[in-house]
Structure 1
């Protein structure tokens, strides 16, 4: 009888813990689910440490939401596979050095096309995301320096 009571108590405590965890997760108190993911529908500019130094994060890249900050920006994670070796140095305890990521503004397209090797597909995706008109394209072509 005592063994049966003990098993029943353990099962009830486990069940109550599971229900509490689910309720706390649903209320947003604790996070039991995986990170929210987003697949980019347009390339994004990665701002380098040097001024006017940019790279593109291609459309189709999956970004993992981390958190939003009071200052008005959010943090995302991106995972890369890498083969080979690269030069690096240990960072010590303060290894986080975030870089900025943002959409390409319409007025930046001529400079981007002149300074960065944008593929036809990337350019097409950017133009579609910005809902560029034929007038916009004509303006870009007029400003294009050869």
Structure 2
């Protein structure tokens, strides 16, 4: 009202326009409230998404790890030493879940995984990692026996000396 009175007295067109804009104060109030709520929601989404990425603890492996094959596959695969793992979640059963990021060029032979209601909008199907120990190696070598040529190539690749080999042979049970 004050702006209308002022515009009438002074004949000011700009004051009349401002007055018309503010005559319906409810619209302006609702507009301000909606914009404020949207701003707060957007800020919280951005902050939450940014903080989740930064909160993931990173570790770098010091030795290769065995990856068990998917769906009961009897094969083992190797995660190379020096791979960065991002801690995702700890479970009460005593194991942890990690994330590994991979880059790939070209097309990947694949099949789509349909989203089912029981997945709850997210499907996580982790593989198991295991440390390489003597018993695991024995089991692997039973399934995939090495020839003398294979063993020689492995020894040369690891730059073992004859003295190293002699120590290994001496430590073996008779």
TM range (shorter): 0.5 to 0.7
For residue 103 of structure 2, the aligned residue among 58, 61, 81 is: 81
- CA drift at 1:72: 1.1
Task: Note the aligned Cα RMSD (angstroms).
Answer: 3.5
- Paired with 2:53 and 2:103, the residues of 1 have a C-alpha distance of 26
Does the alignment pair 1:38 with 2:59? yes
Higher RCO structure, 1 or 2 (CA under 8 Å, sep 6+) = 1
Which structure: greater helix fraction?
A: 2
Q: How does 1:91-106 map to 2 (within 5 A)?
A: 91-93=113-115, 94=119, 95-106=123-134
Query: Which of 1 and 2 has greater Rg?
Result: 2
**Dislocated runs of 4+, deviation >3 Å:** 30-34, 110-114, 116-121, 133-139
> Aligned to 2:62, what secondary structure does the other structure show?
coil
- Paired with 1:55 and 1:137, the residues of 2 have a C-alpha distance of 29
For residue 47 of structure 1, the aligned residue among 68, 71, 76 is: 68
Structure 1 unmatched ranges of 5 or more: 1-29, 125-132
For residue 70 of structure 1, the aligned residue among 77, 88, 92 is: 92
Alignment correspondent of 1:19: none
Moved more, 76-85 or 47-56: 47-56
Alignment correspondent of 1:112: 140
TM-score relative to the length of structure 1: 0.55
> Aligned to 2:93, what secondary structure does the other structure show?
coil
Alignment correspondent of 2:38: none
TM-score relative to the length of structure 2: 0.47
- Paired with 2:54 and 2:88, the residues of 1 have a C-alpha distance of 13
Structure 2 unmatched ranges of 5 or more: 1-50, 159-166
Count of residue pairs brought into register by the alignment: 102
